Amino acid sequence: MVLKINNMRFKKAALFLFLVFSIAGYTHAQTGPSSGQLDNNATLDDLIAYALSNKIELKQANIDREIGERDIASALSGWFPQISATGTFAHAIQIPTNIINGAPIQMGQRNTSSLSIRGDQAILSPELFQASRASKFVREQNNLNIESTKINTVVDVSKAYYDILTSEESIKIINENIARLQRQYTEASARYETGLVDKTDYKRAQISLNNARAELKTAQEMRDYKYDYLKMLLGMNVRENISLSFENQAMESNILLDTSEILSFANRVEYRQTETLRNIQRLNTQYQKWKFLPQLGAYAVYNANYFNNTFADLYSNNFPSSSVGLSLSIPIFTGTKRIQEIRKSELEEERIEWDLKNLENQISTEYSSAMASYRSNMNEWRNARDNMELSEEVYNTIKLQYDAGVKTYLELMTAETDLKTSQLNYLNALYAVLSSKLDIQRALGTVDITK
């Protein structure tokens, strides 16, 4: 019994220190610096750092962790003494009468009042044992929720950045195409005016130029949407301005990945979250067994009692009473409820074990799919790169032949279209490789969230 009481004192002292440091930490958080602003010409690392400080889902996850800490502190507060006070006042319209030796005698005073102060101290409590042991897993679960949100943030922001970079490069290609078509239109118009060719060539050039300008407008509208989507991921208002830096962002240098890395389920935050749920459920099963234990507590009571027939003199005399003692509650029979609750909790444990098995299969499939996509996209990227180089050679050759009058304008337009298509296909294939690389890192659980 002495050992248990000392253990209780230790827990109280530890909880007191926890509350003190929690309050100090909260005060520091309130007075600390606010989230930094996003600089002009922000790089990918800048965007990730900003998102990890400002994304709404992360702010909510941090609030959830703070709520969890308050829940823990609330549950563990049961180890502290519980003190309560009650007061009563009663005025007897008719004083109770008792029969003594055959004669009716009124007993009592017309006015009565009492003030009671009671203190209770838990010594042995299954609920508090449960709360003490569960606090570690609750904190772990809240931290894992934040980690999961950070991983998704890094992946989503990186994909959005590369998507915008792809759009910017696509717009450059379309502008270059428009510049070429403008020159071709000018040349075709001049040839028509001098009578070298009929109006078909410059009409075709006009059609191609109009289509390219319409394509540019569509690409610019999509780029504006992608910027707004990125702002949403960052936790910014869509009306705020943002400028990105694409210097030293050679996407080709970021596509390589070590495909020999072994998949480990323990690296996945979802797997660790499920393991934590399993630990909590195991603790709940233990708690259901602890319910067979008695509850033991100490108490102290002080009562101040006042009696008088005259209200003005009611509180002139006090007739106090006080007591201290132990209270013991032993659950003897509750039907079969406790046994059923134990069995139910064990079945829930078993179900979570199957959840882990199912999650392992899902992670393996996700990794296999991501790896297959990465290898396929790498092949598509290499093919698109070769086609782009070939289309550039073909266009340059046909342009020289067209200027020399050897090739027709239709052949030049075809080469121009092939060049633009191959360039855009190359960019899309490059983005697909980068995106699938991020999917593999997420499947492996190796996404860097420390930026």
Task: Give per-residue pLDDT as tens, 9-59.
Answer: 333 333 333 333 343 333 333 333 334 567 678 888 899 999 999 999 999
Q: How confident is the model at residue 196 (pLDDT cuts 50, 70, 90)?
A: low
The answer as to whether 193 is a domain residue is yes
Structure token digits, residue 277: 């749920």
CB atoms within 10 A of CB 218: 11
Across residues 135-164, what is the average pLDDT?
94
- How does pLDDT run across 210-260, given as a tens digit for each residue? 999 999 999 999 999 999 999 999 988 888 888 888 765 567 777 888 878
The answer as to whether 382 is a domain residue is yes
The answer as to whether 371 is a domain residue is yes
- pLDDT, residue 185, reads 85
CATH number at residue 347: 1.20.1600.10
- How does pLDDT run across 200-211, given as a tens digit for each residue? 877 888 888 999
299 beta partners: 120, 325
Q: Return the C-alpha torsion angle 193, 198, 203, 208, nearest 10.
A: -100
- How does pLDDT run across 384-439, given as a tens digit for each residue? 999 999 999 999 999 899 888 888 888 888 998 999 999 999 999 999 999 999 99
Tell me which amino acid residue 317 is. Answer: N
- pLDDT, residue 402, reads 85
Smallest CA-to-CA distance from 246 within 163, 151, 155 is with 163
Across residues 87-106, what is the average pLDDT?
86
- pLDDT, residue 85, reads 96
The total number of residues written for the chain in this structure: 451
Q: Is the pLDDT of residue 151 over 90?
A: yes
pLDDT averaged over every residue in the chain:
86
The answer as to whether 12 is a domain residue is no
Residue pair 202/189 in contact by the 8 Å Cβ criterion: yes
What is the bridge-based pairing of β-strands 295-308 and 103-106?
unpaired
Measured between alpha carbons, how far is 201 from 191 in angstroms, rounded to an integer?
A: 9
The answer as to whether 18 is a domain residue is no
Q: Is the pLDDT of residue 371 over 70?
A: yes
Residue pair 161/44 in contact by the 8 Å Cβ criterion: yes
Looking at per-residue pLDDT, the higher value among 105 and 171 belongs to 171
> Where would I find the H helices in 320-336?
none
300: containing domain: 39-87+107-444
The answer as to whether 431 is a domain residue is yes
Residue pair 433/377 in contact by the 8 Å Cβ criterion: yes
Across residues 126-133, what is the average pLDDT?
91
Residue with tokens 């997420």: 442
Burial of 304 (0-12, 13-18, 19+ CB in 10 A): middle
DSSP state at residue 26: H
DSSP codes, 153-221: HHHHHHHHHHHHHHHHHHHHHHHHHHHHHHHHHHHHHHHHHTTSS-THHHHHHHHHHHHHHHHHHHHHH
Q: Return the C-alpha torsion angle 266, 271, 275, 277, nearest 10.
A: 160
Number of domains in the chain: 1
296 beta partners: 124, 328
Q: How confident is the model at residue 2 (pLDDT cuts 50, 70, 90)?
A: very low
